[in-house]
Amino acid sequence: MISSMVMAQLVTRLLFLLVIFHYSIATDTLNPNQPLRDDQILVSAKETFALGFFSPGGSSKNRYVGIWYNKLRPAGQKTVVWVANRRSPVSGTNGSLELNGNGTLTINSMIFLPMPIVALTNPVAQLLDDGNFVIREANSSEFAWQSFDYPTDTLLSGMKLGWDLRTGLNRNLTSWLSYDDPSPGHYVLSMDLEGIPQLNVWSGSTKMWRSGPWNGTTFGNVGESPSDFRPHFVSNKDEVYLMYNTTGTKTQTRVVVDQSGMVRQFVWMESVVMWKNFFYCPKSECEMYSKCGRYGVCDINIWPTCSCLQGFKPKSPQEWALRDASSGCERLTALDCKNMTDGFMTITLAALPETSNAILYANISLNECSTKCLKNCSCTAYAIAKISGAGLGCVVWVTELIDLRLSSHATQDVFVRLAGSDLALISTKSSKKRQSKSVVLITVFSMVALIIPLIYLCSWGKKRMIHKDVRGNGKFELAQLQWSTLMEATHNFAKTNILGKGGFGLVYKGKLAEGHEIAVKRLSKNSTQGIDEFENEVTFIAKLQHRNLVRLLGYCIKGDEKILVYEYMPNRSLDAFLFGKEKSDHLDWQTRFNIIEGIARGLLYLHHDSRLRIIHRDLKASNILLDIEMNPKISDFGLARNFGDRETMIKTRKVVGTYGYMAPEYALDGVFSMKSDVFSFGVLILEIISGQRNRIFLSNPHLYLLGKAWRLWNDGKVLDLLDPLIGNSFSITQVMRCINIGLLCVQEKPEDRPIMSSVVIMLGNNDALLPEPKEPGFKAIFSTKHDTVSNQNDLHTFNDITLTEQTGR
């Protein structure tokens, strides 16, 4: 019998022979009439990159010619950086890449990209160590054609992103359609030549994000990069482009536009053998283009995040009251250019507004810029600008200001033009505010000896005041809707408008007079827990804003009636799609994966990135709502708890939540933490993949979803967990990865479960190595119970029961 050591040596030698055989077939050069077959590859001189046929996601159905990192291959996976025939895949494994005698590349005799116009006499195609695939004359260093001119979704060191104005060539990045489909997707990162050049992310004709103009070292709306990442921006009469260079450094980095429209910068981490997502954008709601409309300003550190500049008011107060600021703001007082009474208000720490209609003046002072703006009746604002190699300059806006936001990494001031009367009013308010601050400081210092004894009383009083507010005697920072308005919107709370029933009351569909569709949660009068839920919803979700959290629009209190008004989700809740058989066929794999990713991002925001640290405590399929594009929104914060900065876990005698989603330490001992939500998220992942509820069968643990997933994982049959309604259009690698992550999240011990920031990285980075999961929570417990009830015939199940008050042991 061959020992394991001898077997390992044989395998190593065999792999070495295969590599030598591979390299002997194809080095870094392709010559005319020597086709590269499906089982062959080109490898660059220093073995940095490889080129050949591949199938994304492990499927052999479609074959593409691509370039990938040859050495940097975490877990043996290809990190593909360029695809030749992304619109025209080859079926089967009989494809070949060929260089014709005139210097034209073909795949199965078909030209896939624009090729050199001038015929070459002695052409060669070569894969270079920077990842560029080039065609040139054999005795020349000049390129007749290069893959760097036709990027797909990835920007490498030395590539240009932008325009060659001499030829009209526009080099932009276009996302893959999905993880396993490299055909052009929905998002494009391109250089905008209008006004002052900047980078934009587009979805069709809709602008999603912009980089801001170049400030001499980076683009204004982009944060810091690794120290070895050296961006370089060129703008002249011949070219406008961005390029970075890491040649001569130890840094391997790439910039990618992913399938969700995110721009990500990955850096290779040798110590952990994986790509780390160093930077991404947009990072927050405020970085979404024109979040607050014209003359609105977005600040992620305050609530609501959108506000009008001083001297302006909401253009549509009704829409703003419902937290829809897209209509923007309008001036309180018109400008008076004729009499020269206008002036400027300073906005500090601002990211420059949209510059596509702005004018750039080089080498003029700030005072000159102010004068130039006042003399131009169309001028609305100005700001100083750094121009690389030309000293200071000035940016002047001649249209309404769009996409203005405050930013922690921005250091610029924007001077907004206002009517003199508005400036005087602002000055008066500022003076009174300064005087008020002085009085407050004097008072605080004089009474400091009295403050400490009052802390307890203030805390007690605050709790009393919250309950007073809940009963209708106070005000919240939300739109307060009239009872008559909601009666009209819901047709007197008609039964035909009922969307669903929660633990604390019914939810109705409504439509306001302005046409806004809303969801109206009418809390049950008989539920004592309803008061607590109302308080939690108003306290927490009203102060949170994220694309994967449902928006709370307003409230209404009338007598014993307590009503919360949310944005309407036309596709209702996730459980209807997963477990309602009439809808389950609508969820293909890509949609399910997008839902998993969206829930993860929303949970990460709650745990780490929001103003508060929130533990949801009731994360489940029925509390995940889906908008018209099937984007997930976490809802129902009635059981949520706020964690202090130093708190890691809390023990309670009131165990609340839903069986089947509860972490074992919480259900059994009343201990909850962020890891409790991670457990619930893991259950959700496995439910989304399997289309099965996590029913807990006390008399048969093998029917318990987590136990079933664990058994299939250990048996090497984990794909048997996949919902058959998904069909055959899915990525095996991605499904396996998601199941692995799901099992990591439901491990029995909280300390073994990952935090949500790690989960988001694991979901978004297919190269990240995943640890082996340990046994899921409850499995051992239910196995023991199974032994005690094995003689019973009945199966006892529980998973949908929501606990409102239960004493933990």
Distance CA 241, CA 235 (A): 7
Distance CA 674, CA 636 (A): 17
Q: Closest by alpha carbon to 538, among 560, 519, 557, 525? A: 557
The number of residues in the chain equals 809
What does 146-180 look like in DSSP terms, one character per residue?
EGGGS--SEE-TT--EEEETTTTEEE-EEEEEETT
Residue 256 backbone dihedrals phi, psi, to 5 degrees: -130, 140
What does 295-356 look like in DSSP terms, one character per residue?
TEEE-TTSSSSEEEPTTEEES-HHHHHTT--TT-EEESS---TTTT--EEEEEEEEE----T
Distance CA 261, CA 93 (A): 32
Distance CA 218, CA 1 (A): 63
Single-letter residue type at 716: G
Q: Closest by alpha carbon to 326, among 275, 289, 273? A: 289
C-alpha torsion 210→213→215→217, nearest 10: 50
Distance CA 240, CA 390 (A): 17
Q: Closest by alpha carbon to 321, among 555, 559, 491? A: 555
Is 618 catalytic? The answer is yes
Distance CA 98, CA 106 (A): 5
126 neighbors 106 (Cβ within 8 angstroms): no
Catalytic residue from among 180, 403, 618, 767: 618
188 neighbors 181 (Cβ within 8 angstroms): no
> Which residues are identified as catalytic?
618
